[in-house]
A and B are shown apart, each in its own frame.
Chain A
Amino acid sequence: GDSVTQMEGPVTLSEEAFLTINCTYTATGYPSLFWYVQYPGEGLQLLLKATKADDKGSNKGFEATYRKETTSFHLEKGSVQVSDSAVYFCAHNNNAGNMLTFGGGTRLMVKP
């Protein structure tokens, strides 16, 4: 069945370090791929998305590229800030676009 696998956290980095959070998925057809972020005490917010192979989603310095050949959508940021500390969720939708399947989340902690 459909699934999303993310690297387990927590990921602890120093400010200005490079970030990669790995995400791979299993899905039928051609899903859209998403990264959501959940800051402490807040709800899920869409961070970025990509809708077809080789698309790159980007927002707030974060990027992820839809790699169909490796069924991956890794999240990257060149220089993290303390304010990026949050839980990050990778997700994909089904063919009808009416259901999201999420990974387990990766907690990022950035230290000054």
Chain B
Amino acid sequence: DTGVSQDPRHKITKRGQNVTFRCDPISEHNRLYWYRQTLGQGPEFLTYFQNEAQLEKSRLLSDRFSAERPKGSFSTLEIQRTEQGDSAMYLCASSISGTSSEQYFGPGTRLTVT
């Protein structure tokens, strides 16, 4: 059973560095989502793709954040010039299309900015 996978699981970086995370969705899922979760809080939506098209972005996604899904399969989330406030768990999820379809989450990438 291949669920949603994310890499790396943990990343420690110094402030000002760039980081990139990868997400591999469930193979037949055409939708892919990114969320951010800080300690003690629920996940917050960042952005979503349908196939390779990025269709929605949250105001939480500042100019330093960019996400891609070039071939409609895996996705990358890049954070440029990281700040301490970027420290969080970054979650990826995938689903099929549909207004009631459930999203399946990966294990997350925990980012610590020192």
A95 contact from B98, B99, B101, B104, Cβ within 8 A: B99
Whether A46 contacts B104 in the complex (CB less than 8 A), given A4-B42, A99-B45, A105-B42, comes out as yes
Whether A51 contacts B31 in the complex (CB less than 8 A), given A43-B105, A98-B48, A104-B42, comes out as no
Contact A98 B100, beta carbon cutoff 8 Å: no
User: Is A93 part of the binding interface, using a Cβ–Cβ cutoff of 8 Å?
Assistant: yes
Q: Which residue of A lies closest to B42 (CB)?
A: A102
User: Is A45 part of the binding interface, using a Cβ–Cβ cutoff of 8 Å?
Assistant: yes
User: Is A101 part of the binding interface, using a Cβ–Cβ cutoff of 8 Å?
Assistant: yes
User: Is A91 part of the binding interface, using a Cβ–Cβ cutoff of 8 Å?
Assistant: yes
B48 contact from A32, A43, A44, A99, Cβ within 8 A: A99
List chain A residues, Cβ under 8 A from B56. 98-99
Ranked nearest first, the 6 interchain pairs of A and B with the lowest CB-CB distance are A102-B42, A97-B99, A44-B105, A43-B107, A32-B100, A51-B100
